[in-house]
């Protein structure tokens, strides 16, 4: 029997480790019957103890001292780590040099700037975890694409229903981490997971990043609906039809449909559209009450990611030839071309069609 291709055992071992952490046996859908027979023929399972995962990350820096950065800092401290929390007043070189892991907790539109400053000092093998959910205005790049353009790295996106206020209180939270390479996602999973912060892995980078970014637009719309006093039926419709247009764009850009049914899709959408922790929903409520978008965002006092996300998503949708009526209505309201009542009426009086 010929030897397996170079790297095959390493890849399969990583998959097996992931499956074991998720409570599944080693056999089943993750391995084809043919692959399993070959592995057994090579007595591969005898070597599993030698492939046990070992996380040696000790030097961790969190870039961004906002609410999410502080919440993740507290989470890591509860695990026994001693992360360093960087803010804009600090010397980024001092904080990043030698770090095993750099966690970026800055707004999506600031990610390029901060990553560009940090990149020269990042170790080649450092794990980079990004907590931001957005699409870069102008370039229309997802944040993993921004990182790859500036300096390729061991990039991991974290997404899912995860309000910083609840992580900080150590309330049960579940998220997903996604990377182009499974091992990087496993590294992040091992680093962050606790009995109160459950972390799944995912490999659909397009779906995970778009789901996290685009749900903020729908949360703005849900807030507008609440600000207008339109009731539960209207908000449920916005959330449902919002997920339909998120999925349409995502699939057109190469995402897997099932990703939008998971934590980084419907899970994140639910929490962002219904919670008063959601700055996007709170901004939308003000906009529904007649406050201009810019003033509403200023009153929130923190970055409202749904505003730049809506404008970027509209441009992406036009490029891809995808219809996104809720996003279009949100943009018209943000740009002052319509009122909240007019936007809702326009959505409700669109041409009849099948669901």
Q: What residues are labeled active site? A: 215
Per-position b or e across 132-165, b if 16+ CB within 10 A of its CB: bbbbbeeeebbbbbbbeebeebbbbbbbbbbbbe
Taking alpha carbons only, the member of 324, 134, 157, 133 closest to residue 246 is 324
User: What is the phi/psi pair of residue 298, to 5°?
Assistant: -65, -35
Measured distance between the N- and C-terminal CA atoms of the chain, rounded to whole angstroms? 54
Taking alpha carbons only, the member of 178, 181, 187, 128 closest to residue 158 is 178
* Both structure tokens of 317: 């949708």
Taking alpha carbons only, the member of 82, 80, 64 closest to residue 129 is 64
**Alpha-carbon dihedral angle through residues 156, 160, 166, 171, given to the nearest 10 degrees:** -90
Q: Which residues pair with 156 in a beta bridge?
A: 129
The alpha carbon dihedral of 226, 228, 234, 240 has a sign of negative
Query: Quick check: 219 and 278 in contact, CB under 8 A?
Result: yes
Residue given tokens 């390493």 in the structure block? 10
Q: How many CB atoms lie within 10 A of CB 271?
A: 21
């Amino acid at each position: 029997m010929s030897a397996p291709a170079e790297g095959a055992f390493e890849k399969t071992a990583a998959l097996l480790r992931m499956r074991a952490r998720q409570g599944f046996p080693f056999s089943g859908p993750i391995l084809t019957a043919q692959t399993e027979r070959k592995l057994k023929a090579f007595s591969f399972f005898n070597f599993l103890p030698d492939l046990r995962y070992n996380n040696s990350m000790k030097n961790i820096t969190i870039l961004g001292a906002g609410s999410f950065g502080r919440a993740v800092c507290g989470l890591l401290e509860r695990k026994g780590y001693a992360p360093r929390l960087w803010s804009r007043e600090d010397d980024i070189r001092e904080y990043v040099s030698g770090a095993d892991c750099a966690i970026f907790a800055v707004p999506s539109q600031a990610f390029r700037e901060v990553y560009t400053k940090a990149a020269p000092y990042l170790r080649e093998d450092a794990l980079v975890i990004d907590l931001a959910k957005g699409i870069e205005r102008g370039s229309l790049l997802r944040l993993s694409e921004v990182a790859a353009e500036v300096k390729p790295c061991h990039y991991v996106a974290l997404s899912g229903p995860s309000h910083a206020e609840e992580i900080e209180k150590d309330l049960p939270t579940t998220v997903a981490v996604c990377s182009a390479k499974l091992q990087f996602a496993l590294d992040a999973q091992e680093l962050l997971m606790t009995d109160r912060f459950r972390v799944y892995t995912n490999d659909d980078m397009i779906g995970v990043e778009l789901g996290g970014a685009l749900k903020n637009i729908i949360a703005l719309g849900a807030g507008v609906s609440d600000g207008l006093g339109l009731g539960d039926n209207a908000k449920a419709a916005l959330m449902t039809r919002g997920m339909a247009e998120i999925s349409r764009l995502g699939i057109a850009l190469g995402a897997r449909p099932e990703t939008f049914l998971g934590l980084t899709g419907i899970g994140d959408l639910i929490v962002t559209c219904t919670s008063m922790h959601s700055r996007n929903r709170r901004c939308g409520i003000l906009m529904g009450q007649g406050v201009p978008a810019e003033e509403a965002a200023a009153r929130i006092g923190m970055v409202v990611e749904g505003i730049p996300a809506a404008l970027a998503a509209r441009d992406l949708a036009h490029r891809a030839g995808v219809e996104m009526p809720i996003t279009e209505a949100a943009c018209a309201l943000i740009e002052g071309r319509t009122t909240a009542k007019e936007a809702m009426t326009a959505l409700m009086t669109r041409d009849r069609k099948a669901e």
